[in-house]
Chain A
Amino acid sequence: MIEARQLTKRYGDKVAVDGVDFTVRPGAVTGFLGPNGAGKSTTMRMIIGLDAPTAGTVTVNGRRYAQHSAPLREVGALLEARSIHPGRSAFDHLMALAYTHGISRARVSEVIEMTGLQSVARKRAGAFSLGMGQRLGIAAAVLGDPQTVMLDEPVNGLDPEGVLWIRNLLTGLAAEGRTVFVSSHLMSEMALVADHLIIVGRGRVLADTTVRDLVLQAGGDTVVVATDDPAELRRVLVGPGVEITGHPGSEQLTVTGLPAREIGRKAAEHGLVLFELTAKTVSLEEAFMELTKESVEYHAASTTGRAA
């Protein structure tokens, strides 16, 4: 469980994270999504105490990260920036971290095996490919068998096999009851693994939602229906929460708020002939763009407002 309350980070005049509030819950994969420079990495660095917040707080399982007696048991983190000395072997790197907590050599071997690094464990980490470096970072993140796993852009630089491996790892960790917090700037990637989404832009939370709600909110579940009597169909379908649009003279109507099945049934009850009945689901990508676009428009509008 990660709780951020009015979390803020300023670098001089620049506000990287601007009064962010969110809660990341156990047992699910929470996606942390936003364009580059939205403040995702800074937020993650504040969670494990590498950066101190300018204002606000962030706690892990009820306390600041540094106040835990066994921090690696609480949060295992893979940061975007490389966090490994190139002159040390993978094994020695993990062992150095393990010693701080009294984690056994057996556990180190276990995570090396789990991440598929057996054959290169004794090689200098500086010689590792991007993908192997990423696997070593993940081995370090799960070393302490942490309650919360936090990964910053974990699929960056991975081959398709590696990407699939990460997806399975994330859903597996969440299924074990852990808190999984993953950042990405790729909505398509998040759509495949995340249950919950926290979307940020310019240091602010734009949406704290589920994948399904995001799609709905962005005008998802639209049904396109065509009939030879659109006026009659419009009358039949009208009701609370139902929105119907169509061009005069066109046989096509666009309906939101009613599932395709329901529309078909009502048309049949009233003896209306349908030529087309298509459910149009907005993709997560489109929903994300919609959200980001709105945030940009909001910023533009507020600037004009101040100038006027």
Chain B
Amino acid sequence: MTIVADTRPAGAAPSLPTDTHLKVTPRRVLRSEWAKLWSLRSTWITLGLGLLFLLAFGTIAALRYKSMLNSGQRMDPDFADATSYSLALFGVPFSLIALGVLGVLTASGEYTSGMIRSTLAAVPRRLPVLWSKAAVYGVIAFVTGAVGALAGFLLSSGVLSGTAAGMSLSDGGVVRGLLGAGLYLGLVGVIGVALGTLLRSTAGGISALVGTFLLVPGLMSLLPKSWRDDLTPYLPSNAGESIFALHHSTGTLSAGAGLLVLLGWTALALGGAAYRLMRSDA
């Protein structure tokens, strides 16, 4: 903590009042980023989509499961071990795209519009902007994800109540798992902010995000099997999914380990973003 003394030469501007309460604080930068986020229509639309994907796809999956159950036909192998919990979270990858893209946009939009010049003129130390954006958006994405997961679970449990797949909130690990799904989506949001800051481009940021979470897992099949089994659990997507998985097999990380690994990836992305922000001209 440094004490800032006013070194302005006396009488430099005699007629101006000196407002000593005006200064940049971390809290104020947070407040500013919060206001920026909610003052754009794209925020409302994309958060709405993220929520809708969780609710709608979970409910549709549950309805489809129930109709198969009622018709008495043979169950799809995909649905064999399904529970209302696993069906409710069917929409997570779709919600992930919406929330991740919004994360990218909150940062890349500053660069594509030129707003970043106003932002950094107000906060020339720069890093508080990145931390605030990541924190504000991370919390919002977490809340959206957790609320969506919880509501989706209640809906699909309602649909499937009385069947073998029906679960309730009181079942072991369910509440923790639903919060875990929210945490996963929150961290994806933060990674989106970091990628947007790092790449300064909406198209680039979204490509990197989609590539990391949807394409890279598929590419793992190109690796020799021994490597694949060692590496796959540590991918951001796989680590993230193990945070909210109810059953952990030998090939996956535990919820805690998954969270730690995903936090590591998040820190890495933020570190890259911070480096670019400080080193490159705006």
Q: Is the CB of A102 within 8 A of B40?
A: no
A144 interface residue (CB < 8 Å to B): yes
Q: Which residue of A lies closest to B35 (CB)?
A: A96
A84 interface residue (CB < 8 Å to B): yes
B74 interface residue (CB < 8 Å to A): no
Q: Which residues of A contact B120 (CB under 8 A)?
A: 49-50
Tally of contact residues, A, Cβ under 8 A: 49
Decide yes or no: A82 and B19 within 8 Å by CB, A48-B121, A87-B41, A99-B31 being known contacts: no
B191 interface residue (CB < 8 Å to A): no
Q: Which of A58-66, A242-250, A270-278 contacts B (4 or more CB under 8 A)?
A: A58-66
Interface residues of B in 234-271 (CB under 8 A from A): none
Q: Is the CB of A177 within 8 A of B15?
A: yes
Instruction: For residue A56, give the distance in angstroms from its CB to the closest CB of chain B.
Output: 15
Number of contact residues on B: which range applies? 35 or more
Q: Which residues of A contact B113 (CB under 8 A)?
A: 82, 84-87
Q: Which residue of B lies closest to A75 (CB)?
A: B121
Q: Is the CB of A177 within 8 A of B118?
A: no
Decide yes or no: A51 and B39 within 8 Å by CB, A66-B125, A86-B113, A97-B32 being known contacts: no
Q: Is the CB of B7 within 8 A of A70?
A: no
Q: Is the CB of B36 within 8 A of A140?
A: no
B72 interface residue (CB < 8 Å to A): no
The CA of A96 and the CA of B121, in the complex, are separated in Å by 12
Q: Is the CB of A84 within 8 A of B32?
A: no
A258 interface residue (CB < 8 Å to B): no
A252 interface residue (CB < 8 Å to B): no
Q: Is the CB of B121 within 8 A of A50?
A: yes
The CA of A26 and the CA of B13, in the complex, are separated in Å by 7
Name 19 A/B residue pairs within 8 A (Cβ), A-sorted: A1-B9, A50-B282, A62-B7, A62-B8, A70-B24, A83-B114, A87-B41, A88-B115, A95-B35, A96-B32, A96-B35, A99-B31, A99-B32, A101-B122, A145-B17, A176-B15, A177-B14, A177-B15, A178-B13
- Using a CB–CB distance below 8 Å, which chain A residues touch chain B? 1, 26-27, 45, 48-52, 61-63, 65-66, 68-73, 75, 77, 79, 81-89, 92-93, 95-97, 99-103, 140, 144-145, 147, 176-178
